[in-house]
Structures are given as C-alpha cells and as structure tokens.
Structure 1
C-alpha cells in the first residue's frame, strides 16, 4: 500500500453587504516532502489557478 499526503485549499468569496457566498473554489493535490517543507510556492500556484476562473458573470 502506498501512502501519500494530500493537501486541499479552499477559497470562499462572500458578499459582505448581503452576507452571501458568491464564489468558491478548491484545489487538491498530492504533496511531496519538498512541497511540505516549503508550502509557499505550492499555495501561490493553487491560488493563482483558482483565481483564473474569477470573476464569474453576475447573477441577478
């Protein structure tokens, strides 16, 4: 059996005036020991990838 560490990062964007969730994204990736020792670049890549899909068209 292989064991690995998996990381998940979630981002929620909320409309503070209406107290409503307006957008959410998640990224999941298998992590190596090198990544776990220096999470900054992996987090930057994940956040960058998530925000490639933001903003979404307005829903009226």
Structure 2
C-alpha cells in the first residue's frame, strides 16, 4: 500500500469537491426522502399482506 500516493489522491479529490448549491441540495434531499418513504411504504405493504394471509406474523 503506497500511503503517499493514497494521500495525494485524497487531497486531489478534496480540492475538486465543492459544496452544493441550495437548489442542488434540496433536490437531492427530496429524492432521497421520496426513496425512504417508498421503501417504508413497501415494507408496510408487505407486512399488511403477511398479516392477512393465514400463518402470517
């Protein structure tokens, strides 16, 4: 493992990185929130179906 090379790669990435604008951040947060809600709803749906079926939870 070449530590000097790894550190220079990390520094190069940090120099290229920038903070997102408020518009970009809010769009990413909205999409991530929609994904969380979708996965939660899907889990609830599976739970509801398993509760109704015989031998469910």
TM-based fold match above 0.5? no
Rg bigger for which structure? Answer: 2
Q: Please, what TM-score do these two structures have when normalized by structure 2? A: 0.35
Structure with the largest fraction of strand: 1
Q: Please, what TM-score do these two structures have when normalized by structure 1? A: 0.34
Structure with the largest fraction of helix: 2
